[in-house]
Amino acid sequence: MAFFEYCTKTPTSILVTISSIMIMIGCGPDETPPELPHIGYKLIITDSIGVEFGDAEYLLGWPVSPTHSPDGNIVFVDRKKPAAFIFTPEGEFIRSVGREGEGPGEFHMPMVVSFRSDGSMIIGDGVAITMFDSNYEYQDQMIWPFFHPYIITALDSGGFVGKGTDFLPEDDKIMIVSTLARWDGDEDPSVEYFRIEHEFSVPDGVSDWSNSREHTIYCCASRDGRVFYSQSSIDKFEIHGCEPDGTPFLHIVDENFHRVRKSEEDLQAEMDAWNSLVRLVTGDSSTGITVKLDPYRKAIRDMFTDGSERLWVRLGNYPGIVFRVYDFSGEILFHAMVEYDGNPTDLNSWEITGDEHGFLAINTSHEYYQRVYMLTLVENE
């Protein structure tokens, strides 16, 4: 799964080299999902932005990184319509920021957008990170020689928390170094929180995703600079928290966790999502590399902070989308689940985030027309 996540944040040229994809499902013992915890709250889909046909402002190409501006507007960037798009909390189009190009304030394929509390905005695109003021006027750029760090959170004190990736070729393989760190205006990080080094290779035309099951960093940060992260795993549930200067202040371990095998339906949905991405980027899903999917679920799928000193952790071992919500001392506050009437496998390709203004989601599968969903948290009666 780490290879899939890596490819969704890399240029088209990397995906173009892939020549075919197949499903290879291994057999093994049945390790079933545990019983659902008590669900104290539900996340209910209330509306969405995006249409299949109609006004150009609502025809979304490849929306990513949905968030709220400090005044509550909905903002996201679109990789295919390279700009940031701003909508009211009710989903009415306000304006776009930027356009396709190579100049200041222009984009090729924007990947992420984040705000500071004063309303200033930063957008990551290719090798540059672009800063805008609270009126969406261009301010400045930070440019890297290759890939810039992937922005996690813009910090109120300046700079940002992000994930940097370095590629170190060695003979017939590539060493990938992923670093969770803070940047304060220079190319090199000012504080490093966590680092993973691993080898990427596709021997004999087979990419075994189970070989990379521990190569992803799931992470988030609050605007005051506190950082939370977990190394991806199928065997353990562990979360770390650091102060802005890197001092540890939180360590969460779930001793009752056990790994869970994916169903064949889960694996098929995962393969379908991958194929849709390859078709979107390359225009062709006939390739020459066999992908062997990881048969086990990740303990943690994602995490975010909501602006109220609460850490939302998406649990990987349950069908649908289930969050365990902690306070910043590590105490469990409640569990929440996305309310969905259809097959919970449909939600495998969804990404959800939230903040003080509410919750937003996108479906990363491109089998359907693209939308940004608005969700509301309600008590589960």
pLDDT in tens, the chain (381 residues): 333 343 444 443 333 333 333 333 334 444 777 899 999 999 999 999 999 999 999 999 999 999 999 999 999 999 999 999 999 999 999 999 998 888 888 898 899 999 999 999 999 987 789 999 999 999 999 888 777 899 999 999 999 999 998 888 777 778 889 999 999 988 889 999 999 988 876 667 777 888 888 999 999 999 999 999 999 999 999 999 999 999 999 999 999 899 999 989 999 888 888 787 777 777 665 666 788 899 999 999 999 999 999 999 999 999 999 999 999 999 999 999 999 999 999 999 999 999 999 999 999 888 789 999 999 999 998
Q: Which two tokens stand for residue 163?
A: 């994930």
pTM: 0.88
Order of strands, sheet of 300-305, starting from the edge strand that comes earlier in the sequence: 300-305, 310-315, 322-327, 332-338, 41-49, 372-379, 358-363, 350-355
User: Following CA atoms 99, 104, 108, 114 in sequence, which dihedral angle do they give, to the nearest 10 degrees?
Assistant: -80
**Going from the N-terminus, what domains does the chain have, and what CATH number goes with each?**
2-379 (2.120.10.30)
307 closest CA partner among 85, 122, 68: 68
For 208, what's the count of Cα atoms within 13 Å in the CB-facing half-sphere? 6
Helical H segments across 19-103, by residue range = none
Contact 72, 89 (CB under 8 A): yes
Measured distance CA(152)–CA(117) in Å, rounded: 15
39 closest CA partner among 363, 359, 334: 334
216 closest CA partner among 178, 260, 165, 271: 178
